[in-house]
Amino acid sequence: MNINGKARENRTFDAIVIGSGISGGWAAKELCERGLKTIVLERGRPVKHRKDYPTAGSDPWHLDYRGRIPQDDIDRNPIVARCYAYNDATKHFFVKDEEHPYIQEKRFDWIRGYQEGGKSLIWARQGQRWSRYDFEGPARDGYGIEWPITYDELAPWYSRVETFVGWSGNKDGLDHLPDGEFLPPFDMTCVEKHIKGKVEAAFPGRHVLHGRCAHLTEVKPIHREQDRGQCMARYLCYRGCPYGAYFSSNSSTLPWAEKTGNLTIRTHAVVESIIYNEASGKASGVRVIDAITKEVSEYYAEIIFLNAACLNSNLILLNSRSNRFPNGLGNDNGLLGRYIAFHNYRGSLTATIDGFEDQYYYGRRPTQPIMPSYRNVYSQDSDTDFQGKYLIAFGAARSGWQRGVRSENIGIDLKQEVSEPGSWGVFMMMQGETVPIYDNHVRLSETEKDPWGIPQLITSVDYTANDEKLIQDFLESGAEMIEAAGGKNIIQNDDGRAPGLDIHEIGGARMGKDPATSILNNWNQVHNCKNVFVTDGACMSSVAIQNPSLTFMALTARAANYAADELAKGNL
């Protein structure tokens, strides 16, 4: 490609950030605050806070299908239609199946959001800190490599993120689920409090905690500076929050970065590859294909942050081939794209519980109580036949909204029936740790291309026998706890969902101490290309049990400040 000097100058920055989602927004914020001229490359369309949330204030009767997805849409988009957050009011924030094809060697439901802000507009907003045991566990118990960082190293960055974002939760004093910089938590319902008391009394060592989530239950000065308001508990979050009450790149980090005067955002920019300079031994920039016109261009910088979300970051690295790296950038050991892991959500339970009919609750709380793992926490338990752990989320609610569906009443009698809330129901679900294995991987197709001429990604990721054992343990112990709390009509369910629908995929470019067994070092740098940083899910060496986005953000803030320091020293 030949471009004149002025054009190259206009496309040269201190830093390039690939992706504008949860981790990309944080990279942009931190780098811009440090004075670096930064361009964010987003493959999707522009989405501005408040202005581009078209259904945020819509009532069901304003929507063609009352918010439901019509059957022809489901038929055209069977993958994305399986996502819990995909409906007629949110579908504009999701990638449709035909828009970015990929090859499923083994079924993987790849849920994506291509727009400014990425999936930060449609995430579930839950998050918990990892503990020292989560970082130590894989190497300690022999199911993964040693993490190159410790909890103590990441703790101040967790605090930085939680304070800026606004994280609600309760300080519970548990070492295996550390406390954070919390705003007041959303309260439990009366039945949830009842379950908490019964479970903690019957099962010492098990703890029922308030949900921890990125919602402003109280607005601090730092949030007012971001022009964000308090959560109204409407639970219409996946449409985009006009209050900015939950954290998104659009309401928080990107506008903050823009205020510095150091941010440039280019949308419709599909990154094809990272350009490696043989002479300097560093990356010099990225090659971009315009999503609409297919025009090819290049951008240049001293630092590159790859935050395209786990599988797309793997795709870009694998496609970044050169004489030095014929199998993908940094892929000297052949492990790029390997050890993909995810969260196992297959197990759930439902039950009814008698009493409490004289009590109700207010609002649509955007979180649920949680139970941190009570299996394999401090060491491999002698009485478990699986490795790894699981977190439990549960909720208890009145079932009045379902009443009247099959009623024989009409008119005033039907109205009277549906106006009275029904009995209390309990729902419990698992969030299980899958063990990273070599065979679970992604790679590039040698024959099939996407609409931008880039090789399609092949997904080859599946469950293992270990996952099946973990599911069974959850179903059995979950039923025991519900029964101890007085639950009845307990139903155990394994929904058999494919990997990917958890939307918590991690790995492929994992961090580690040894370049022979990992792609990134302890600062999220590619071992053999030190000016490229990967801080989204692709960098993770294991998945643990926690919702991962808080850890992505903390790792990103830490790496971005290190990169700025190293650039100032002339080391990058």
| Domain spans in the chain, listed from the N-terminal domain onward | 1-47+115-153+248-342+440-451+506-572, 174-212+346-387+389-434+463-498
User: Quick check: 315 and 457 in contact, CB under 8 A?
Assistant: yes
Closest CA to 463 of 418, 417, 498: 498
Beta strands in 88-243 (DSSP E): 103-104, 167-168, 182-183
What is the pLDDT, as a whole number, of residue 467?
A: 98
Fill in the amino acid letter for 491. Answer: I
What is the pLDDT, as a whole number, of residue 525?
A: 98
pLDDT tens profile 114-135: 999 999 999 999 999 999 999 9
Beta strands in 143-185 (DSSP E): 167-168, 182-183
User: Quick check: 303 and 563 in contact, CB under 8 A?
Assistant: yes
Locate 125 and state its tokens: 């907003």
Burial of 205 (0-12, 13-18, 19+ CB in 10 A): exposed
Q: Which residues make beta-bridge pairs with 39?
A: 16, 264
What is the pLDDT, as a whole number, of residue 399?
A: 76
Distances (CA, A) of 535 to 125, 206, 217, 509, 514: 18, 32, 28, 10, 18
Q: What is the 3-state secondary structure (H, E, C) of 452-481?
A: CCCEEEEEECCCCHHHHHHHHHHHHHHHHH
Distances (CA, A) of 209 to 15, 181, 308, 453: 40, 16, 33, 48
- Which percentage of the chain shows pLDDT scores above 90? 92
What is the pLDDT, as a whole number, of residue 1?
A: 47
CA-based torsion, 91, 97, 100, 103: positive or negative: positive
Q: Which residues in 555-571 are b (16+ Cβ under 10 Å) and which e?
A: bbbbbbbbbbebbeeee
What is the pLDDT, as a whole number, of residue 212?
A: 98
CA–CA gap between residue 442 and residue 445 (Å, rounded)? 10
- The number of beta carbons lying within 10 Å of the beta carbon of residue 535 is 31
CA–CA gap between residue 452 and residue 270 (Å, rounded)? 8
Give the list of residues 6+ apart from residue 173 with CB closer than 8 angstroms, or none: 179
CA–CA gap between residue 460 and residue 420 (Å, rounded)? 49
CA–CA gap between residue 521 and residue 463 (Å, rounded)? 28
Which superfamily is assigned to 1-47+115-153+248-342+440-451+506-572 in CATH?
Answer: FAD/NAD(P)-binding domain (3.50.50.60)
What is the pLDDT, as a whole number, of residue 4?
A: 63
Give the list of residues 6+ apart from residue 348 with CB closer than 8 angstroms, or none: 427, 428, 429, 430, 493, 495
Q: 0.85 cut: is pTM over it?
A: yes
Three-class SS of residue 537? helix
pLDDT by residue, tens only, the chain of 572 residues: 445 667 788 999 999 999 999 999 999 999 999 999 999 999 999 999 999 999 999 998 999 888 899 999 999 999 999 999 999 999 999 999 999 999 999 999 999 999 999 999 999 999 999 999 999 999 999 999 999 999 999 999 999 999 999 999 999 999 999 999 999 999 999 999 999 999 999 999 999 999 999 999 999 999 999 999 999 999 999 999 999 999 999 999 999 999 999 999 999 999 999 999 999 999 999 999 999 999 999 999 999 999 999 999 999 999 999 999 999 999 999 999 999 999 999 999 999 999 999 998 888 999 999 999 999 999 999 999 999 999 999 999 987 545 555 667 888 888 877 777 788 999 999 999 999 999 999 999 999 999 999 999 999 999 999 999 999 999 999 999 999 999 999 999 999 999 999 999 999 999 999 999 999 999 999 999 999 999 999 999 999 999 999 999 999 999 999 999 999 999 99
- The number of beta carbons lying within 10 Å of the beta carbon of residue 334 is 9
What is the pLDDT, as a whole number, of residue 401?
A: 47
